[in-house]
Structure 1
Amino acid sequence: MALERYAGPGCLVEYMQGNQAQVAWVLEESSGRLRLYTLTKREEKMALSRVLPWMGPRYDGARDRSEILEILAACQTRREAAAKAVDALELWELAQGEVREETAQWFAGLVGENPDVDAVAAMGRALLGCKTHFKFHPPKFEVFPAELVERRMVEAAQAEEREKVVVAGQAFFKELWQGWLSGDRKKAQGLAARLDPEAARRLAELLKRLMADAEDAEAATLWAMLRKGLPEHPFQPYILATQWGIVPPHYNYLLDQADYAPGDDWWKPYAPEVAALEAGLAAQAREPEPIAFVSVDSPTTRDIDDAFFAEARVDGGIRLVLALADPALDWDFGGPLDTAVAGRASSLYLPEGTSHMLPEPLGTGLYSLRAGEVRPSLVMEWDFDVAGETVGFSMRKSFVRIAENTTYAAVEAALDAPDAPEHFRLGHRLATVLRQKRLERGAVIIERPEPDIILSGYPESTTVDMGLCPSYPRSQLMVSEFMILGNTAAAQYAVTHGAAMLFRTQDAALSPEIRGIHDDPPSIQRVVRELPPTLTEPDPRPHATLAAPAYAPVTSPLRRYADLVNLAQLESLLRTGSPRWSRGELEARLPELSARIEAVGRVQRFRPRYWKLLYLQRTCRERTFEGVVVDLGGGGYVSLSLPDMQIYVRATRDALGDAVYIGQRYALRLGKIDPLTNELRVFGAEEIPARLPEGAEAFFMNAGGAH
C-alpha cells in the first residue's frame, strides 16, 4: 500500500477529532474541499488542509456504504493495533540531538524498510499521542530537546496528580460543607478515611496554604476546580479545614497569615546558639550593683524586662534608678537566631496563650529580671529636684540582682497602707509629677476599661467569658510613666551623641481640644480620629501624644525587636563611643522590620476581637449591651462604642429612634454575629436615661418637695 499524493474519490484519509486520529473515505474532492464518509455513518465536508499528511490506500471502483464501512473499520483496527506497538520514547532517544524535525514516514523508516501507509499512519498516531516528546507541525514532527522533555514530563505528572486530587476532592469538600451547614462534624473522619493518602495530603496542604494567603496564585487554579458547586464564602478554606479536623476549632489563621509560629518550639533548630548565649553570659557575669530593684507586673508575667528603685535625696528631691533587661549583651545580630527573632518582631499576648519573641530559655529565663538572680542590665539613673525637674542623668552597662518581683495589685495595696514602703511612695509621687508635666506640654492620655477575655476548655470545647481587668491606677501610673521616661531619655542620649535610633515619631501639632485626659467613649473616639499615625524612622522627631521631643523605645527588649535594636545602639555608644549601626544601615532595615511589626500587630489587634464576638454570639439572646453613640456618621448609620467590651458597632438611625446625639446611651439587642467574618449587627435599641451627677437626684427631689 503506497502513500497517496492526491486525496481523490476512494482514498482513505485521516483527520483529528476529539484529540484522536479518525479514518474516513473520500467520496468527492473539489478545489481543495473534500466530502468524506466516516465510521459514524455520516458525511462530513472538510478542507484538504485538515487532513493528516499520510493518505491511502486508494480503492478503485464503486463501493456501497456497507463495503466502505467494512474497509474503514478494518483499517481503524489495524492502525490502532500497530500504533500501540510503536515505542515512541525509544524513537525519541534515537532522534533527539540528531534531527530537529522529521515526517512520520521518516520515523517509520527507522522501524522497518519501505513502510506502507498503514505503518506510516500508525507511526503518526503514536507520535501524536506522545505530546511530552514530540510536537506536530504538519507535515513534520518536532523532536523536543531533553531539558524541555524533562520539564513537560514534570508538568504532565503534575497535571495527572492534580486531576486525581480534583476528582477526589470535589465530592469530599461538598460533603464537608454540607456537614458544616448541618452542624455535623462526626462524618468528616469517615469521609477522609476513604481518600487516597496522597490526595488527602495535597488537599490538606492546599487548605492550609489558602488560610495563610487567600490570594495564593499558585493554589488558585486547583482551588477553583475543587470548589465548583460550593457557594461563595470568604473563609471557605478555613471552614473546610476545621470541619475536616486538620486544624482545631477556633484555629488562629491570623498566625499563618503573619507567618508567626506560636508557642515555644520554633527556636529548637537554633538550640546551639541558645546554649552558647547561656555559656557566654555565665562567663561574663560579675557582682551585681547593691540596689534593691523591684519589678511591678501582672501576676502572669514571666518576661520581666524592667525594674526600678526610688529614694529620697537630701534636698527633698528623688533619685530614680531604672534597670532594663539586657539581651543585647552578647547577641549575634545577623546570625540565624537573630534573623528568626527579627521575623517574630514582638511577643504576642493572646487570650489563648502567650508566644514570646525570644526563646523562652532566654526571654523568660536567662535575661528576665527574676528576683534573686544576677542579670545583665542597662541601668538608667536620674536625679530630680523637689519640683520634679531633672538635675542629673547617667546611663551604664551593669549587672543587677532584683530584690522583689511584685504585682500591680500588691503595690496598690501597699500604697493604701500608712507605712507604705518609701520606694513605692516616692515612685508614685514622681510618676504623678512626670505625668502632670507631660500634660502641661500637651500630652494626650486615653483611659478606658480593659476587658478581660477568659477562655475555658480551649480549643475543643471552648467557652468564652468576659470581665473587666482590675484597675490599679497608682501602680500602673508608676510603670507607664517610668517607661515613657526611659524611652525619652534613650532618645535624648542618642540625639546628644549623634546616633540614629528606631525613633517612634508623631510630628504634628495637636489641637487644644484633644490634649489632656480622655475617659468617656465620645471623647476617646474624637481623639483617636484626629490623632495622626505614629511612624518608625531613623531621625528624631517629636512624639505629640506623649509630649516627648524624641522617643526611642528601649524598655521592652525581651518583647519587641525594635527595642532590642535600640538597646544595642545605646550599649555600643557606652562601650565604644560609636553606634553599632549608621543611620543608613538602620534605614535599610526599616522596610522589612516595619512589615513584620505590622503583620504581627494585626494578630494582636484582631484576635481578641474574634473572642469578643464569640462571647457576644453566645450571650446576645440572653441580655442587652450598653452602647454609647460616638459618631453620627453618614449614609444613615451611627457608630456606637460598647465600653465594657472595647468594641464598636454600627446601627441604622431607624433602629435608634428619631433624636440621636453624641454621648447618647442605649441598651442594644445584638444579633447576626459571626466572629469569623467580623459581622455584628444591632437588631434593636432602647434609650438609657441620661445619668445624673452624684447627689443631683436627691437635690431635685428636695426641690420638688419645697414647691
Structure 2
Amino acid sequence: MALTVHRPGAGDFASLRAEFELPESFPSEVLAEAESVAGDPADDGAREDATGLPLVTVDPPGAKDLDQAVCIERRPLGGFRVHYAIADLAAFVPPGGLIDLEARRRGQTLYLPDGNVSLHPPELSEGAASLLPGMVRPSVLWTIDTDSDGEPVSVHVRRALVRSTERFDYDTVAAALAVGEAHPSIAALPALGRLRRELAVRRGAVELQLPEQEIGAGPDGGWVLTRRPRHDVEAWNAEVSLLTGMVAASIMLDAGIGVLRTLPQADDDTVNWLRRSATALGIDWPTDATVAELLAGLDPANPASLALYAGTTRLLRGAGYTSFDGTEPEFATHAGLASPYAHVTAPIRRLVDRFAAEICLAVTHDRPVPTWVRAALAELPELMNASDNRAARVERACLDQVEAWILAEHIGRTFDAVVLRAEETKAEVFLENPPVLGKCTGTGFPDSGRISVRLTAVDVTKRKVSFERA
C-alpha cells in the first residue's frame, strides 16, 4: 500500500494551526530586536576562547537550530572527558525584552510537517545563536570528566566562544562507525553511550521502545507516514545530554536553587498491576528484577513486548517541573530516569533551559543568581507544563491528520495490526503498514499478538479513523 497522500487538497495544516492558535510568524518588533542583538551578543568579557576544540554537532537530518556540539576524549587513566557546548541564548535575549516575553508565551519550538513554530526568531534560532559549522558562536561550555564506569567525577561550566567543525546526522555517524571511520571527536561516543545505558538500567531508568511514527514530505508534494527507526547513535547522543542534565540538577540541588524536570515514582499498586500484565502476556519477570532490568531484556520486535511497553506508560504519568529557591523541593527525582534531572541542553528550542543554565553558571562561579532568573522561577513550571501539553497535542493532531488523509480512500480494507492494549470490546492497535495507531472494536481480543483489523470509517475533518476486528 502506498504511504503517500495523493488526494487533492491533502497536505494543508492551516486548519490545525488555527485550531491550536499557533502564531504564523513573529511580531515585527520582536524580529527587529532579534536583528539588533544578532550582531551584538552580550559579553561580560569573561568568555573563554575554546574555538580550538574540535566540536561537532549530531542532529536529525536537515536541522538548522543546532543547540549542542560535542567532543569526547578518553582520559589517560581511564574514563572520558566530555566537552559539551550549548548555544548561549542568554547572550541574545535581553531579560524582560520583546524576545524574552514572546519566548515565555511560546514555551518551546513546535514541529509540524509543513514548518516549525519556533521558540525564537529564525535570525537567532537558525542563524546567530545556532552552532553552525565553521561559525564562531557564544556558548555555555560544559566539561565533564567521568570515571571508567561512566559516572561523573568533576564538572566545569563556563561561557566560551566555540566553533563547530562538522555537522553530522544520525545516519552519517552510524555509517561512519560501521566502517571504523568515525570523526575523532565522536569515536568514543558508542563506548560512553553504552556505559551510560548500563548505568541507567542499574539506576532503574525506564526506557520504552514503542513504535514511533514519523511524517515526511513525499516526492509528489504529499506526505509519507513511516515507522521511525530507533538509532543507537541517537540513543548514545541522548545519553550525553542526559549526563549533562543530571550534573546540572546536582549543582542546583547543592545550591538550593533551581528548576528540575520531575516525575513522581509509581506506586506499588501500579507496579503490581504491571507484573500481572507481564504474566498475562507470557513474559517471565523474575522476582528480583526491576522494571528497568525487565524492559532492557525484552525484544522490541515481539508483540508481547510492545504490549508491555504500552502498559508501562502508566508508570510514567505526572511529569512536570519543580522550581525551588532556598527551600528543599518536595520531590526532586525524575522516576523515568531514576535520577534528579534538569533541562539545560536545548535553549534554542525550550524556554526553561536558558534559566537553568544561568543558575549553574552563577553558583559554580560563586556569583549571585541573576535577579531576572530568580524572578522567573515561580512561573516557569506553569509555562513549561502548558507548553509541553500543547506540543503533545499538536504532534498527535498532525499524526492523526495524516493517518486520516492516507486511509480515507481505503474504507473496508483489512490490515495487519499489533495489539498494544486490550479490553473486552475494544483495543488499541498499531498497524504495521501504514504505521497507524488506532482504536479497534470487537470481542475476544488477545492480550498481545498480531490480528487483522478492518477500516470502518474515516473522518478527515475530525482526524479520526475507526477499525473493527476482522
Select which of 610, 616, 621 maps to 2:401.
610
Q: Report the CA distance between 1:339 and its aligned residue.
A: 0.9
Aligned to 1:505: 262
Are 1:364 and 2:126 matched, yes or no?
A: yes
Alignment correspondent of 1:551: 341
Q: Which residue of 2 aligns with 1:481?
A: 239
Which one of the candidate residues 437, 443, 446 is aligned to 1:648? 437
> Is the 1:306–1:369 Cα contact (8 Å) retained in structure 2?
yes
The within-5 A match list for 1:59-78 is none
Q: 1:18-40 CA deviation, whole Å, 9 max, x = no partner?
A: xxxxxxxxxxxxxxxxxxxxxxx
User: Is 1:287–1:399's contact at 8 Å kept on the other side of the alignment?
Assistant: yes
Deviation at 1:577, TM superposition (A): 1.8
Which blocks of at least 5 consecutive residues in structure 2 are unaligned? 1-7, 272-288, 324-328
Residues 342 and 304 of structure 1: CA distance in aligned 2, closer, same or farther (over 3 Å): same
Q: Where do 1:156-555 residues align within 5 Å?
A: 250-262=12-24, 265-281=25-41, 287-456=49-218, 463-473=222-232, 475-501=233-259, 503-509=260-266, 511=271, 514-515=291-292, 516-517=295-296, 519=300, 520-538=305-323, 539=329, 541-548=332-339, 550-555=340-345
Contact 2:49 2:160 in 1 (8 A): no
Q: Cα–Cα, structure 1 residues 308 and 546, in superposed 2: closer, same or farther, change >3 Å?
A: same
The SS at the match of 1:651 is strand
| Distance verdict in 2 for CA 1:645–1:535, change over 3 Å | farther
CA 1:619 to 1:580, structure 2 compared with 1: closer, same or farther past 3 Å? farther
For residue 578 of structure 1, give the secondary structure of its aligned residue in structure 2. Answer: coil
Distance 2:231 2:382 in 1: 38
Offset at residue 587 of structure 1 (A): 1.6
| SS, match of residue 40 in structure 2 | helix
Q: Residue deviations 1:65-95, cap 9 Å, x none?
A: xxxxxxxxxxxxxxxxxxxxxxxxxxxxxxx
Q: Which residue of 2 aligns with 1:141?
A: none
- SS of the aligned residue for 1:418 comes to coil
Deviation at 1:378, TM superposition (A): 0.8
8 Å Cα contact 1:311-1:423 kept in structure 2 = yes
Q: Which residue number corresponds to residue 628 of structure 1? A: 418
CA 1:333 to 1:600, structure 2 compared with 1: closer, same or farther past 3 Å?
farther
CA 1:465–1:390: 2 relative to 1, 3 Å? closer
Structure with the larger RCO, 1 or 2 (CA within 8 Å, 6+ apart): 2
Larger Rg: 1
Q: Deviations over 1:358-382 (max 9, x none)?
A: 1001001001001111111111112
Partner Cα separation in structure 1 for residue 99 and residue 185 of structure 2: 38
Aligned to 1:436, the other structure's residue is in SS state helix
**Aligned sequence identity (%):** 24
Q: What displacement does 1:323 show?
A: 0.8
Moved more, 373-382 or 283-292: 283-292
CA contact (8 A) 1:309 1:320 kept: yes
The one-letter amino acid of 1:506's match is L
Report the aligned-residue RMSD: 2.8
Distance in 2, Cα, partners of 1:590 & 1:605: 22
Judged with a 3 Å threshold, the aligned counterparts in structure 2 of structure 1 residues 607 and 276 are, in CA distance, closer, same or farther, namely same
What is the alpha-carbon distance in structure 2 between the residues aligned to residue 643 and residue 579 of structure 1?
51
Residues 313 and 666 (structure 1), Cα distance of their counterparts in 2 relative to 1, 3 Å cut: same
Is the contact between residue 367 and residue 375 of structure 1 (CA under 8 Å) also seen in structure 2?
A: yes
CA contact (8 A) 2:79 2:146 kept: yes
Q: For residues 277-326 of structure 1, what are the alpha-carbon distances to aligned partners after superposition, in whole Å with 9 as ceiling and x for unaligned? A: 12322877874442101111122100000011111211132211111111
TM-score (norm 1): 0.56
Corresponding residue pairs, total? 426
- Which runs of 5 or more structure 1 residues have no equivalent in the other structure? 1-184, 186-241, 243-247, 686-707
Give the 3 Å change call, closer, same or farther, for CA 624–559 of structure 1 in structure 2.
same
Q: 2:467 aligns with which of 667, 682, 706?
A: 682
Equivalent AA in structure 1 for residue 101 of structure 2: T
TM-score, normalised relative to structure 2: 0.82
Amino acid at match of 1:648: L
Cα gap change, 1:253/1:645 in structure 2, threshold over 3 Å: closer, same or farther? same
From 451, 463, 469, the equivalent of 1:666 is 451
Structure 2 residue 423 is the aligned partner of structure 1 residue 638: no
From the superposition, tell whether residues 521 and 380 of structure 1 become closer, same or farther in structure 2 (CA, over 3 Å).
same
Q: Distance in 2 between matches of 1:601 and 1:356?
A: 15
AA aligned to 1:467 is: T
User: What SS does the aligned partner of 1:500 have?
Assistant: strand
**Secondary structure of 2:90 counterpart:** coil
Once the two structures are TM-superposed, the CA of residue 420 in structure 1 deviates from its matched residue by: 3.8
8 Å Cα contact 2:31-2:121 kept in structure 1:
no
1:590 and 2:349 correspond: no
- What letter corresponds to residue 41 of structure 2 in structure 1? L
